[in-house]
Every structure is written in structure tokens, then in C-alpha cells.
Amino acid sequence: SQQGEEDPQALSIQEGENATMNCSYKTSINNLQWYRQNSGRGLVHLILIRSNEREKHSGRLRVTLDTSKKSSSLLITASRAADTASYFCATDEGSGGSNYKLTFGKGTLLTVNP
Amino acid sequence: GAGVSQSPSNKVTEKGKDVELRCDPISGHTALYWYRQSLGQGLEFLIYFQGNSAPDKSGLPSDRFSAERTGGSVSTLTIQRTQQEDSAVYLCASTLVGWGTDTQYFGPGTRLTVL
């Protein structure tokens, strides 16, 4: 089944460093989204990248998508302690599946140390 | 409302009891999703409502789980005869239209603990 898998499962860095998280998925997609979750509660949408896009920026976030490798990366530059959270990628089911269902990976737990 | 709200925020129940979890989506959003998140895991899709269409119940893990959405707004997820493996955070999300390109707006979740 379609599923995003994040890598690494956990990442610990110092404030000011960059954080890179990766997501791999199995079948074709129309778009991929990244979400952030604080303290096991509600998720907050960060950014969406479409299958015909290769890179997208939003503030300190940079997302890349390689559809040939079925992978995406999320880069957070100049990290802050407040960036500490779990980060999830979510993929749709592509042209062969539903046009509404998203599948979330298990997430990367990012810890930014002051 | 300003965002998606869920109640209660925490629920502790005894095995075998029934529980009801409530979700108030953002006003005007036609689509509503329920997810379950076990400790340290990703989100597991449970059910999807879109307008007056028949819901997609394909993610409900057993017939003990049911959900309804009244008047196209508030939704209730009911778990009958709760089991310890039902312990998880139950998250609700709403979207404007319900497409895979939509941003999903999540509520804070209900943490369910079954003793």
C-alpha cells in the first residue's frame, strides 16, 4: 500500500544547524505534503509539493521531490529550539486511487538543543 | 469556528465501556477525516466524510467502531466495548473540499486510555 516512510526516525541537532529529513514512498503520487506535530497533538501543515515540481521553499523550509526515486526531503535551515517536533510526510494515492485520502508516515522526531 | 476542536481532550475508560469522541470542524469545510495515532506511530486513516456522500469507512478496524456526521458539520466517533488496544490519540481533520491537494486542518486530538 502507499506509505511514506521518514528517515531518520529521530534526529538531534544544535540550535543554528540545519536539519534534513527524508521521506520515501512506494507508488506514484500527485502531491506530497509535510506536516509538523508538537507533543503528540494536532498536526500543522507546512508545505505541499506537486509531482511536477522538484523544489519548493517556504521561509526556512526547503522541500525537494524526486519522483524517479520516489523520495522527498525536508530541510530546515538555521534551526531553533522551537522547531523541536515530529515531522510527517503525507502522500496521496495518485491517479489510480482515491482523490481524497492521504497516507502518513511514522515521522521523524527532531530535537533542537539550545 | 477558528479551528478544529475536539472533545474531550483526554478520556480514561474501563475495558468494555463505550466511548464517544466529538469533532467540530472548521465552519464551511465540507470534508472531515478521523485518524488514530498509537504511541510513536504515524496516523492511521479511519473514516472520511464528504458532504452528503456515503462515507469511506474502509479504515475502521472493527465493527466496534462507528462514526457519524450530523448536518454536514459535527462528527462523533463511537467505540463500543473498548479494548486496551484502542488506547491511542484520535485526531480529526477537516478540509475545504476534501481533495488530496487540500491542506488538512487538525484538531488537538482526544487521548483515549482504556484500562
Looking at beta carbons, which residues of chain B come within 8 Å of A102?
Answer: 45, 100, 104
Strand partners, A87: A36, A108
Size of interface A-B (CB pairs under 8 A): 64
Q: What are phi and psi of B17, to 5 degrees?
A: -80, 160
CA dist B45 → A37, A54, A111, B56 (Å): 17, 28, 27, 10
What pLDDT shows up at residue B51?
87
Cβ contact, residue pair B37, A103, below 8 Å: no
Residue of chain B nearest A46, judged by CA positions: B103
pLDDT in tens, A91-113: 987 776 677 888 898 899 999 99
Helices within B24-67 (DSSP H only): none
pLDDT above 70 as % of chain A: 93
Report whether B49 contacts B75 (CB < 8 A): yes
pLDDT in tens, A67-82: 999 999 999 999 999 9
| CB < 8 Å from B in window 81-110 of A | 88, 90, 92-93, 98-107
**Is the pLDDT at B19 greater than 50, yes or no?**
yes
What pLDDT shows up at residue A2?
47
What pLDDT shows up at residue B98?
75
Please state, rounded to an integer, the average pLDDT across all residues of chain A: 91
- Looking at residues B8-20, what average pLDDT do you find? 97
pLDDT in tens, B44-87: 999 999 988 899 999 999 999 999 998 879 999 999 999 999 99
Residue B45 is nearest to which of A35, A41, A101, comparing CB atoms?
Answer: A101
pLDDT in tens, B20-48: 999 999 999 999 999 999 987 788 999 99
Q: Which residues, at least 6 apart from A83, have a Cβ–Cβ distance to it below 8 Å?
A: A19, A76, A110, A112
Shortest alpha-carbon distance between residue A78 and chain B (Å)? 26
Give residue ranges of B with CB < 8 Å to any A CB: 4, 31, 35, 37, 40-43, 45, 48, 50, 56, 89, 91, 93, 98-101, 103-109, 111
pLDDT above 70 as % of chain B: 99
CA angle B46-B49-B50, nearest 5°? Answer: 145
Cβ contact, residue pair A43, B91, below 8 Å: yes
Q: Give A60's pLDDT tier (boundaries 50, 70, 90).
A: very high
Q: Which residues, at least 6 apart from B14, have a Cβ–Cβ distance to it below 8 Å?
A: B82, B114, B115
Residue of chain B nearest A107, judged by CA positions: B42
Burial class (CB in 10 A: 0-12, 13-18, 19+), A69: exposed
CA dist A83 → A13, A63, A70, A77, B54 (Å): 11, 16, 26, 10, 39
pLDDT in tens, A2-13: 467 888 999 999
What pLDDT shows up at residue A108?
94
pLDDT in tens, B100-112: 778 899 999 999 9
For residues B63 and B98, give the distance between their C-alpha atoms in angstroms, rounded to a whole number. Answer: 25
For residues B36 and B72, give the distance between their C-alpha atoms in angstroms, rounded to a whole number. Answer: 21
